[in-house]
Amino acid sequence: MKKSVLIKIIVYTFLAILTVFMLFPIYVTIVTAFKTAQESTANFFALPSSFNLENFRIVASDRHFLNYIMNSVGITVAAVSIIAIVSPMVSYAIARRMGNSKYHRFLYIFFILSIFVPFQVIMVPLVRLMSSLSLMNQIGMVLLYSIFSLGQSIFLFVGYYKSIPVELEEAAIIDGCSTVGTFFRIIYPLAKPMTITVVILNTLWIWNDFLLPLLILNRSPNNWTLPLYQFNFRTAFTFDFNLAFASFMFSIVPMMILYMFLQKYIIEGITAGAVKS
């Protein structure tokens, strides 16, 4: 009995320490965004003396700030929309035929292996390719995000489709439904939890990504996304923490709200995809 209590104490203590480490960056972001430069210099980790919104006003008053937000929103919405339509369709074909088709098994392995290729390996040839195709713009970003997401998305969807009974599709076909009709009327609605899971994961990635926009969109400030804009609070000798963290809040809050409303679907999708019926 004492051993069991001791184990619980150790586990909960570890979880409490881990929680503090996870929440501390959020705390620093929030308090720094509301501080003045003088308060940050005096004590970087202390609470602000007042509810100061000046940093947010300065960031929002930048005449290009709305353009940066629209660039991020446009790229994220377009890429995630393509991912939410293409990935389930490709995964469905692979999931239902890979058992009897070497070609579909090869496709599945091919997509899964793409997850293990470090991005740094393909950076230089990727930039040269996109430049030669005149795609160093938002359209190129949407295409790249859609392609790079296929490996993880197909892995998740194939596992989920295996949990859906094939008898549902057979019944639909007997009733005269085509393969395309069966997918959009039966399978795709049933895959809603996994679709939302993939949408959330890719939205968080695309919205916060810095390296790919730096490579593709950095030729013109008009093409910048929010992460690129935030990076440019840095100069050769200083970094304006207060304005930078205020801009971080503009990026963090929408994603936190989105995640809070849809987190139950992420848990449901991953749990269902882990069990084969």
pLDDT in tens, 219-266: 888 889 998 888 876 654 456 778 888 888 888 888 888 877 777 766
Residue 168 confidence (pLDDT): 87
For residue 197, being part of any structural domain is answered with: yes
pLDDT at 275: 47
Q: What are the distances in angstroms from CA 263 to CA 26, 63, 89, 200?
A: 19, 35, 24, 9
Whether residues 33 and 162 share a domain: the answer is no
Please say if the pLDDT value at position 72 is more than 50.
yes
Examine the domain organization and report whether 242 and 113 are in the same domain.
yes
Higher pLDDT, 17 or 275: 17
Average pLDDT for the chain:
86
Give the number of C-alpha atoms closer than 13 A to the C-alpha of residue 151, restricted to the C-beta side.
13
Dihedral over alpha carbons 215, 219, 223, 229 (to 10 degrees):
70
Nearest residue to 277 via CA among 160, 188, 194:
160
Residue among 22, 18, 27, 20 at smallest CA distance from 248: 27
Q: What is the DSSP letter of 235?
A: -
Residues 131 and 78 both lie in one domain = yes
Q: Please answer whether residues 157 and 87 qualify as being in contact, where contact means their C-beta atoms are separated by less than 8 angstroms.
A: yes
Looking up tokens 């994220």 gives 76
Q: Say yes or no: 69 and 44 in one domain.
A: no
83: its two tokens? 């991912």
What pLDDT sits at residue 87?
94
In a domain, 57, yes or no: no
- Specify if 226 maps to a domain: yes
| Short-list 213, 206, 211, 191, CA closest to 254 | 206
Instruction: Assess if residue 143 is contained within a domain.
Output: yes
Q: Is the pLDDT of residue 1 over 70?
A: no
Q: Are 119 and 211 in contact (CB under 8 A)?
A: yes
DSSP structural state of residue 163: T
What are the CA-CA distances from residue 140 to residues 133, 145, 152, 213 (Å)?
9, 9, 20, 10
Helix (H, G, I), strand (E, B) or coil at 80: helix
pLDDT in tens, 78-87: 999 999 999 9
Instruction: Give the number of domains in the chain.
Output: 2
> At 269, which CATH number?
1.10.3720.10
pLDDT for res 93 = 92
Same-domain pairing of 164 and 260: yes
74, pLDDT greater than 60: yes
> pLDDT digits over 27-53, tens only?
888 888 888 888 888 887 888 887 788
Question: In sequence order, which ranges of 185-240 are alpha helices (DSSP H)?
Answer: 188-190, 192-208, 211-216, 226-231
SS3 at position 7: helix
Q: Let me know whether 150 and 116 are in one domain.
A: yes
Question: With left for phi above 0 and alpha for psi between -120 and 50, is residue 176 left, alpha or beta?
Answer: left
Do 219 and 187 fall into the same domain?
yes
How confident is residue 146, by pLDDT bands cut at 50, 70 and 90? very high
Question: Is there a domain that residue 152 lies in?
Answer: yes
In a domain, 18, yes or no: yes
Question: pLDDT tens for residues 160-198?
Answer: 898 888 888 888 888 888 888 899 988 999 898 889 889
The verdict on 80 and 179 lying in the same domain is yes
**Is residue 45 domain-shared with residue 108, that is, in the same domain?**
no
Q: Do 22 and 151 lie in a common domain?
A: no
**Separation between Cα atoms, residue 190 and residue 184, nearest integer Å:** 10
Shared domain check, 215 and 95 = yes
The C-alpha atoms of residue 202 and residue 248 are separated, in whole angstroms, by 19
Q: What angle do CA 124, 129, 134 make, to 5 degrees?
A: 125
Cα separation, 263 vs 259, in Å, equals 5
Residues 72 and 208 in one domain: yes
Give CA–CA dist 59/68, Å, rounded: 11
Domain holding 208, by residue range, is 62-273
Q: Which helix (H) or strand (E) holds 257?
A: helix 241-273
